[in-house]
């Protein structure tokens, strides 16, 4: 076989392999467990969610305030007449704690295991609870070292199917996902088109924006493989006015849906499990605006930044990006001066 023919065959095989991967992902997306029906009046909207129920996945770094944002957002939505389902997809199972005044919500994973051992079926009332019009549940996850959190999420959504997810009628389904865990289960809504759009929560710090940038990268990756999910925007939490999060949003091409200030009143009330997303609250207008923006925001195609691009959003004093990479030597690795030993090889001159 000639080199040319071999090269052609390798190229063809690679193309077939990539096409097969794309088709597998598309087939998997078509089988995704959440497929609400489209509305007739949205048939001509190319990039807007075309489904009656808006399913929105919210991503962010652990501890950045996703649960705080979602509890108050979902509460405000319900107070304005929307039917809202909040699903916590964090193994810590703390998405609904603020909503329920600090009380732990029985998780789907835990309840499913307990019911299975007893030979009983899981019912809606076992895992879904409500407060002032907000419906909420926690998928849960394994204890540390005892299983895969991503697999727990997949199992949780399979159980939601069995509970009749297709027949539920909500205006919004909000999914709370960790953004700094990269295994497959946590990327499920993006990889399988289970949501129409993604919202990222970040702050004016490098680590939370690094996670937000990774989420934008994931969205773009799966779009190239035939996915349809877009990024609708960013919520800036604990905003101290330094501007890095706004600069990030501008750079990747997504809007800022709301900026929640780093205010002591918010911190204190949140710590006391108090909902501030009420129409009569001092912070009511802020969450009313966020509610409106979340509903109206169109999914976009973000342009993720490189690592250097992220660093450039911050001053060099903050990140230390003026550091020069100094290559290590073999002597450095040994921790002592390396002595070159003469070779005993005999080298004959060419005759």
d(CA 57, CA 190): 8
| pTM (global) more than 0.85 | no
HSE, CB side, 13 Å, CA atoms: give it for residue 201: 27
Lookup: tokens for 38: 């489209």
- Residues 6 or more apart whose CB falls under 8 angstroms from that of 113 comprise none
Q: How many residues does the chain have?
A: 351
Contact at 8 Å (CB) between 261 and 235?
A: no
- Nearest by Cα to 233 from 223, 193, 219: 219
**Torsion sign, CA atoms 101, 138, 219, 304:** positive
Beta strands in the chain (DSSP E): 54-60, 84-88, 129-131, 134-138, 172-178, 197-202, 230-239, 256-261
Structure tokens at 49: 């969610």
Neighbouring-strand partners of residue 175: 57, 87
Pick the closest to residue 315 from 235, 231, 247 (CA basis).
Answer: 247
Q: What's the confidence (pLDDT) of residue 287?
A: 97
**Residue whose tokens read 């001159």:** 349
pLDDT attached to residue 268: 95
Exposure b/e, 295-307, CB count within 10 A at least 16 = b? bebebbebebbee
174 to each of 69, 166, 217, how far by Cα in Å? Answer: 11, 15, 21
CA distance 174 to 176: 7
CATH number attached to the domain at 18-311: 3.40.50.300
pLDDT (tens place) for every residue of the chain, 351 residues total = 544 454 445 444 444 454 554 555 445 444 444 433 433 443 334 454 445 899 999 999 988 999 999 999 999 999 999 999 999 887 777 788 999 998 888 888 888 888 888 999 888 999 999 999 999 998 876 565 555 655 667 777 788 888 887 788 999 999 998 776 656 556 777 877 888 999 999 999 999 999 999 999 999 998 888 889 999 999 999 999 999 999 999 999 999 999 999 999 999 999 999 999 999 999 999 999 999 999 999 999 999 999 889 988 987 766 666 778 889 888 888 887 666 677 777 767 765
pLDDT of residue 62: 85
- 185: tokens are 């289960």
Report d(CA 107, CA 105) in Å as an integer.
6
Name the 3-class secondary structure at 102: coil
| Distance between CA atoms of residues 127 and 139, nearest Å | 9
Q: What is the 3-state secondary structure (H, E, C) of 5-40?
A: HHHHHHHHHHHHHHHHHHHHHHHHHHCCCCCCCECH
Tell me which residues are annotated as active site.
Answer: 61, 66, 92, 180
Per DSSP, what are the bridge partners of residue 198?
A: 57, 231
Residues whose CB falls within 8 Å of the CB of residue 16, separated by 6 or more in sequence, listed in order: none
> Of 307, 301, 302, 304, whose CA–CA distance to 206 is shortest?
307
Distance from C-alpha of 181 to C-alpha of 186, rounded to nearest angstrom: 7
Kindly report, residue by residue over 52-96, the tens digit of the pLDDT.
899 999 999 988 999 999 999 999 999 999 999 999 887 777 788
Q: Are strands 197-202 and 54-60 parallel, antiparallel or unpaired?
A: parallel
């Amino acid at each position: 076989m000639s080199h040319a023919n071999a090269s052609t065959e390798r190229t063809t095989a690679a193309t077939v392999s990539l096409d097969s991967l794309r088709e597998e992902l598309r087939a998997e997306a078509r089988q995704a467990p959440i497929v609400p029906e489209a509305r007739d009046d949205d048939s001509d909207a190319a990039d807007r969610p075309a489904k009656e129920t808006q399913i929105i996945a919210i991503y962010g770094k652990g501890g950045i305030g996703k649960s705080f944002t979602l509890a108050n957002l979902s509460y405000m939505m319900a107070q304005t007449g929307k039917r809202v389902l909040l699903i916590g997809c964090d193994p810590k199972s703390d998405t609904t704690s603020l909503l329920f005044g600090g009380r732990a919500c029985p998780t789907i994973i835990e309840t499913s295991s307990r019911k299975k051992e007893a030979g009983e079926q899981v019912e809606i009332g076992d895992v879904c609870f409500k407060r002032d019009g907000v419906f909420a549940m926690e998928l849960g996850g394994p204890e540390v070292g005892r299983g895969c959190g991503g697999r727990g999420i997949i199992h949780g959504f399979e159980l939601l199917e069995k509970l009749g997810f297709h027949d539920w009628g909500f205006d919004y389904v909000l999914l709370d996902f960790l953004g700094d865990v990269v295994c497959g289960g946590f990327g499920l809504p993006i990889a399988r088109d289970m949501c129409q759009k993604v919202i990222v929560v970040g702050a004016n710090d490098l680590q939370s924006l690094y996670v937000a940038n990774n989420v934008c990268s994931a969205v773009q990756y799966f779009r190239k493989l035939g996915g349809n999910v877009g990024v609708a925007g960013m919520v800036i939490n604990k905003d101290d006015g330094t501007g890095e999060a706004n600069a990030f949003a501008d750079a990747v091409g997504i809007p800022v849906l709301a900026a929640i200030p780093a205010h002591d009143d918010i911190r204190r009330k949140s710590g006391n499990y108090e909902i501030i997303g009420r129409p009569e609250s001092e912070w009511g207008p802020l969450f009313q605006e966020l509610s409106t923006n979340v509903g109206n925001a169109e999914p976009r195609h973000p342009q993720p930044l490189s690592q250097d691009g992220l660093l450039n959003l911050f001053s060099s004093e903050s990140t230390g990006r003026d550091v020069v990479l100094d290559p290590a030597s073999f002597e450095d690795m040994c921790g002592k001066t390396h002595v070159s030993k003469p070779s005993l090889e005999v080298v004959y001159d060419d005759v």
